[in-house]
A and B are shown apart, each in its own frame.
Chain A
Amino acid sequence: MDGTPLVTIHLTAPLRPYSAGAARLSIAAGTVREALAQLELNEAALYRNLCDETGALRPHLNVFVNSDNARDLRGVDTILRTGDVVTFLPAVSGG
């Protein structure tokens, strides 16, 4: 993965049981889509919490790249740069 940006995946508490308790993961990924592909490959249990079986991001999850919602950028095609923090957060909904 030479030249591929190293980014941090930040995990909220409900996701940590699927990452052996880790709150942060370092991965090499040039886009959010690549980050998800890396997680599917190396963190399958965690990935299943983020994406459904069609590969689509679960509908009530928001992905933030640093402080920006990826939806307001280029969605899963949002470009990542070394040092970026990618956070998966449940949407504020429900009761």
Chain B
Amino acid sequence: MRLSQLQPGQSGVIKEFTDLEMSVKLMEMGCLPGEPIVVERFAPLGDPMAIRVSGYQLSLRKNEASTIILQ
């Protein structure tokens, strides 16, 4: 399951990343393996999305979210 496949309100736990370079940026922003994630909403046009991770709201594009594999 990839993060981009979740619907608003659904949650998951980060397992791993498919893109090394992207993973570095995501981890800096607190998206670490083992960290729980909740999808809060999608932008009105369906992309990007807003997620809650380590206590704050982060927005990222769907293609970026698709590099995050959930447990």
Pairing of A with B: no
Measured CB to CB, the residues of B under 8 A from A are: none
Measured CB to CB, the residues of A under 8 A from B are: none
